[in-house]
Amino acid sequence: MPTLAIELGAATDYGSHMTAPNDLIEQARAWAAEDPDAQTRAELEALVAAAERGEETDLADRFAGTLEFGTAGLRGALGAGPNRMNRVVVTRAAAGLAAYLRDTGHRGGSVVIGFDARHNSDVFARDTAEIMTGAGFKAFVMPRTLPTPLLAFAIRELGCAAGVMVTASHNPPQDNGYKVYLGDGSQIVPPADSEIAARIAAVGPLAELPRGDAGTVVSEQIVDRYLDTVAGLAEDGPRDLSVVYTPLHGVGGTTVAQVLETAGFDAPHVVEQQEHPDPDFPTVSFPNPEEPGAMDLAMALAADTRADLVVANDPDADRCAVAVPDAHGWRMLRGDEVGALLAHHLLARGHRGTYANSIVSSSLLGKMAAAAGQPHEETLTGFKWIGRVEGLAFGYEEALGYCCDPEHVRDKDGVSALLLVCELAAQAKAEGRGLTDILDDIARVHGLHATDQLSVRFDDLADIPATMDRLRSAPPTTLGGLAVERVEDLSEGSAQLPPTDGLRYSLAEGARVIVRPSGTEPKVKCYLEVVVPVEPGPDGGGVDAARISAAGRLDAITADLRGVAFGQPSGA
């Protein structure tokens, strides 16, 4: 789905591209005059002074547009101006949300507000609370920096009309963001996003917005109820497991430690350098466990302690990463592999209901659900869609997001997923096995499903729609030596899926490629999957032979995609 630009200025067109320096300077002065934050106001005044002296600044970029709502909500770099995250932007967004709630029958209701440990998260939370109380709503503020899934839990537990989480999840340190949930505990979807955007556009001068008090701080009992609920997901069973854990400088550490202890596990070995929240994320270049190098300290600690398992959260703890030992050391499991393990675990325990995953995730989940007699659904990318699946029992997306307890948290939850992975690993260890053995079992039944990604970054954003148009008008006929048997233009929508900008190529032998623009970065992403039957060994080679064959097929498809879709040489 294309991202939705939110016009943050009512009387002044802050989103216009300005060519006359004097006009740009006047807009910057007008913004600074309205900015309640001394730091960003001074920052903007310094940029104006530099521009007046003829020095080169990034002033034009700060006023070249407005932040947009995409699949990750409102996110951007901290700083002054409408194209940055700051108190003016957040105040207008909060006022627009309040107007939407008032107009949709929630006048006088309550809104719960959470925040992580990033720069200014607590400030943005306080601004949101004051705007909500000023608009006649009850504002509940979480008692401290806490994981995003705890905010999603609190919305339903407290019976709120909406929730706001101030977080940029796994974005770089200079970013912050603003996630909006409605009363069902799920993130906003159309048409709510465009209706909120329209009300943000109608917000007048900040000085005219009524501001109330800073709301009511929620009791720590809400945290305790969440901890007990998550710990209760684990059943009686083996607990002998040596675990290494890292919260990646985020807010998950205390919550995870308490959940594991309540569920009967020994305290994990925590990566000391990454144990405490730090908005600068000093030990990683990018605070995302999927990024190369982010898990190096955790895997080194695992080698030193001879651990059985490595688990990690991203900074707001809504995602869970897993690494396991193999013949060559430690390796990260793909999100699709963790999704299959969690589904296997829940299906074995008799969890009934719909098993769902995003269209860019593996097709394996559908086969596992069918074999267990459970329904399966595919959704668009993002938990705002997965969380709304009727009768959801389990949902996941390949980007390390898992919903294991939709009755209480209708969003991805890296804490509950982490606990269930530990429970499954402990059960496997008691049988003299590991998580990779369970994955091999699944492959023997359903075939080896191997996935990969190809991402291509664009310097010129206009090249992204041009690339998608070219692939629509002249789709490939073969990829990696496999015939393209069906081409689906996802922008047309279907009875199962709303329209979204993407293409799905179904290849021979169960392979698949999905091409879509990123919702958060100037990239086109390609999601690849091949399926290789596992022939019984020794002559058939078993799972290892299937894995080697799958890797070759993925490499061949990737090479063809580089040439066909992006005009790159295969080694680029």
What span, in angstroms and rounded, lies between the C-alpha atoms of 55 and 75? 28
For residues 242 and 236, what is the distance between their CA atoms, to the nearest angstrom?
18
Backbone angles phi, psi at 323, to 5 degrees: -130, 145
CB-based contact 324:257 (threshold 8 Å): no
CA separation for the pair 363, 530 (Å, rounded): 10
What is the DSSP code string of 342-401?
A: HHHHHHHTT--SEEEEETTS-THHHHHHHHTT--EEEE-SSHHHHTT-TTEEEEEETTTE
What gap in Å lies between CA 215 and CA 110, rounded to an integer?
A: 10
Cα(312)–Cα(327) distance, integer angstroms = 22
Token duo for residue 510: 């169960």
Q: How many whole angstroms separate alpha carbon 453 and alpha carbon 162?
A: 35
Measured between alpha carbons, how far apart are the two ends of the chain, in Å? 28
Q: What are phi and psi of 356, to 5 degrees?
A: -130, 150
Which of 214, 218, 200, 34 shows the shortest CA–CA distance to 134? 214
Given the residues 121, 169, 358, 361, the one annotated as active site: 169
Residue 334: count of CB within 10 angstroms of its CB: 18
CA distance 98 to 192: 13
Closest CA to 237 of 343, 345, 311: 345
The pairs formed by 82-85 with CB atoms below 8 angstroms and a separation of 24 or more are: 82/8, 82/9, 82/14, 82/15, 82/31, 85/120, 85/124, 85/175, 85/176, 85/177, 85/178
d(CA 379, CA 71): 13
Q: How far apart are CA 514 and CA 3, in angstroms?
A: 19
Residue of 257, 260, 321 whose CA lies nearest to 287 = 321
Residue 207, exposed/middle/buried by CB under 10 A (0-12, 13-18, 19+)?
exposed
The encoded tokens of residue 70 equal 């995409």
- Is 455 catalytic? The answer is no
The three-state (H, E, C) secondary structure of 231-299, written as one string = HCCCCCCCCCCCEEEECCCCCCHHHHHHHHHHCCCCCCEECHHHCCCCCCCCCCCCCCCCCCCCCHHHH
Rounded distance between C-alpha atoms, residue 9 and residue 16, angstroms: 11
Residues that are catalytic: 169
